[in-house]
Chain A
């Protein structure tokens, strides 16, 4: 069955380190998104991509980057991890815009 996966599911890192969170989907969706979820803030968009080689900044993109070299993957990189980036990160994908976004299981990141 087609699915969307994230790895790792849990990560502990230290401030200043570079961290990459993986997102992989097998639906062949063009649209992929990264959100962070924090208590009291809901889901906030970090970066998104509408296809290979396309990336765009969301509302909370500072300190994060993404790259889209193929349809299936959208890795999220924290260039220099900060304690403020401790959060739960969700990747999502959709076939068409303004259609269902399918979320991955999430990655819980702790920056010490």
Chain B
């Protein structure tokens, strides 16, 4: 089955700097890659997703890039703010139907933004 890994497990940046969080996946057939943010004590929430037919997607200060050849995708956060401090989960799935549509999550990365 799919294996999704996130590195590093923790990341600390200065407020205003950029943060990049990388995920790798094992199944070359995976075609959907969402990112979820979980603030302390809260539920995970989708912040951005990308499908395999595009290489990059942006939404204000966040962007996701996908490298299908290398089987990795990255979350980019620019002009980080203290409220960006959270655990970020990447995930992957290989199909929009059936059992292969279920998401496989990475273990999460804790991002800390230092004021």
- Which residue on chain A has the smallest CB distance to residue B90? A42
Q: How many residues of B contact A (CB 8 A)?
A: 24
B108 touches A103 (CB 8 A): no
A40 touches B44 (CB 8 A): no
Is B89 interfacial (CB-CB < 8 Å)? yes
- Which residue on chain A has the smallest CB distance to residue B109? A42
B107 touches A41 (CB 8 A): yes
List of A residues within 8 angstroms of B32 by Cβ: 98
Q: How far is the CA of A44 from the CA of B1 in the complex (A)?
A: 13
Q: How far is the CA of A90 from the CA of B105 in the complex (A)?
A: 13
A interface SS class = loop
A-contact bits for B18-48, CB 8 A (1 contact / 0 none): 0000000000000110100000000111100
| Residue of B45, B51, B102 touching A45 (CB-CB under 8 A) | B102
B-contact bits for A27-53, CB 8 A (1 contact / 0 none): 000000101000011111100100000
Residues on A close to B: CB < 8 A? 33, 35, 40-45, 48, 56, 58-59, 90, 96-98, 100-101, 103-106
4 A-B pairs with the lowest CB-CB distances in the bound complex, closest first: A97-B101, A42-B107, A103-B43, A98-B32
